[in-house]
Amino acid sequence: MAVIFKIAFRNIKAHRSKSLIIGILLAMGAMVLVFGTAFINATEEGVRSTFSDVYTGDIFISGISSDGPVSLFGVTSTSGMAETPIIPEYDKVLSIVKSTPHLKKTSSLATGFSQVIRENGDQMTKEDSQNKIKPQDRFLFLFGIDAATYWDLFETVEIVAGEKLKPGQSGIMINESQFYKFSDWFEKPLSIGDPLLVQGFSTIGFRLRELPIVGIFRLKEQGTAPEQLAYIDIESLRVMSGMTVGANEPIHLKPEETSMLSIEDPDELFSDDIIVTSETSEHFDVSSISRELSKPSQIDPLKPDEGAWQFIVGKADSPQNINRIISSLNKAFEKEGIQAVAGSWQAAAGPYGQSVDVVRLIFAVAIIILSIVAIIIIMNTFVISVIERTSEIGTMRAIGAGKGFVRTMFAAEAMALALVSASIGAGLGLLIIEILKSLRIEATNPFFLVLFGGQYLNPIATAGNVFFAIVLMIAVGFIAHLYPVSLALKIQPVRAMQEE
Partner 1 sequence: MHSNVFLKTRGLKKESYFIIILAMLFFVGLNPLLAQSKPDPKALIKQVDDLSDFSGKDFSAVFTIVTQKPGEKDSVTQARIFRRDLKKQFVILILLPEVNKGQGYLREDDNVWFYDPTSRKFSHSSMKENLQNTKAKNSDFTLSTFAEDYTVTKMTDGMVGKFPVWILDLKAKTNEVAYDRVVLYIRKDRTMLLKREDYSVNGRLMRTTAYPKYVELEGRLLPSQILIVDEVNKGEKSQITMAEQSVSPLPDRVFTKAFLEQVSR
Rule CB under 8 A: which residues touch partner 1?
Answer: 66, 79-80, 117, 121-123, 197, 199, 203-210, 239, 242, 244, 246-249, 251, 253-254, 256-261, 263, 266-271, 274-279, 281-284, 286, 289-290, 292-294, 297-299, 301-302
Q: How far is the CB of 214 from partner 1 (least distance, A)?
A: 17
**Cα separation, 345 vs 51, whole angstroms:** 7
Which stretches within 388-462 are classed as H helix? 390-398, 403-439, 446-452
Q: How far is the CB of 264 from partner 1 (least distance, A)?
A: 9
Q: How far is the CB of 115 from partner 1 (least distance, A)?
A: 9
Q: How far is the CB of 347 from partner 1 (least distance, A)?
A: 22
Query: Are residues 336 and 100 in contact, defined by beta-carbon separation less than 8 angstroms?
Result: no
Residue whose CB is less far from partner 1, 201 or 478: 201
Residue whose CB is less far from partner 1, 191 or 259: 259
**Cα separation, 348 vs 238, whole angstroms:** 20
Residue whose CB is less far from partner 1, 294 or 438: 294
Burial class (CB in 10 A: 0-12, 13-18, 19+), 378: buried
Residue whose CB is less far from partner 1, 159 or 247: 247
Q: How far is the CB of 140 from partner 1 (least distance, A)?
A: 14
Sequence-distant (6+) residues with CB within 8 A of 311 are: 60, 61, 62, 72, 87, 108, 109, 110, 111, 348
Residue whose CB is less far from partner 1, 289 or 366: 289
Q: How far is the CB of 299 from partner 1 (least distance, A)?
A: 4
Residue whose CB is less far from partner 1, 13 or 252: 252
C-alpha dist (Å) from residue 104 to 50, 143, 262, 315: 18, 21, 52, 6
Q: How far is the CB of 256 from partner 1 (least distance, A)?
A: 7
**Cα separation, 440 vs 454, whole angstroms:** 11
Residue whose CB is less far from partner 1, 130 or 294: 294
Helix or strand or coil: residue 121?
coil
Single-letter code of the amino acid located at 198: V
Residue whose CB is less far from partner 1, 136 or 498: 136
Q: How far is the CB of 305 from partner 1 (least distance, A)?
A: 11
Sequence-distant (6+) residues with CB within 8 A of 448 are: none
Helix or strand or coil: residue 364?
helix
Residue whose CB is less far from partner 1, 298 or 438: 298
Single-letter code of the amino acid located at 223: G
Residue whose CB is less far from partner 1, 27 or 211: 211
Q: DSSP character for 491?
A: S
Residue whose CB is less far from partner 1, 291 or 335: 291
**Cα separation, 53 vs 343, whole angstroms:** 16
Q: How far is the CB of 325 from partner 1 (least distance, A)?
A: 31
Query: Are residues 79 and 345 in contact, defined by beta-carbon separation less than 8 angstroms?
Result: no
Q: State residue 263 phi and psi, 5-degree precision.
A: -80, 130
Q: How far is the CB of 66 from partner 1 (least distance, A)?
A: 6
**Cα separation, 439 vs 457, whole angstroms:** 9
Q: How far is the CB of 212 from partner 1 (least distance, A)?
A: 13
Query: Are residues 297 and 308 in contact, defined by beta-carbon separation less than 8 angstroms?
Result: no
Query: Are residues 21 and 382 in contact, defined by beta-carbon separation less than 8 angstroms?
Result: no
Range 127-157 burial, b when 16+ CB lie within 10 A, else e: ebeeebbeeebbbbbbbbbbbebbbebbeeb
**Cα separation, 26 vs 418, whole angstroms:** 6
Q: Pick left, alpha or beta for residue 174 (phi over 0 → left; psi -120 to 50 → alpha; otherwise beta).
A: beta
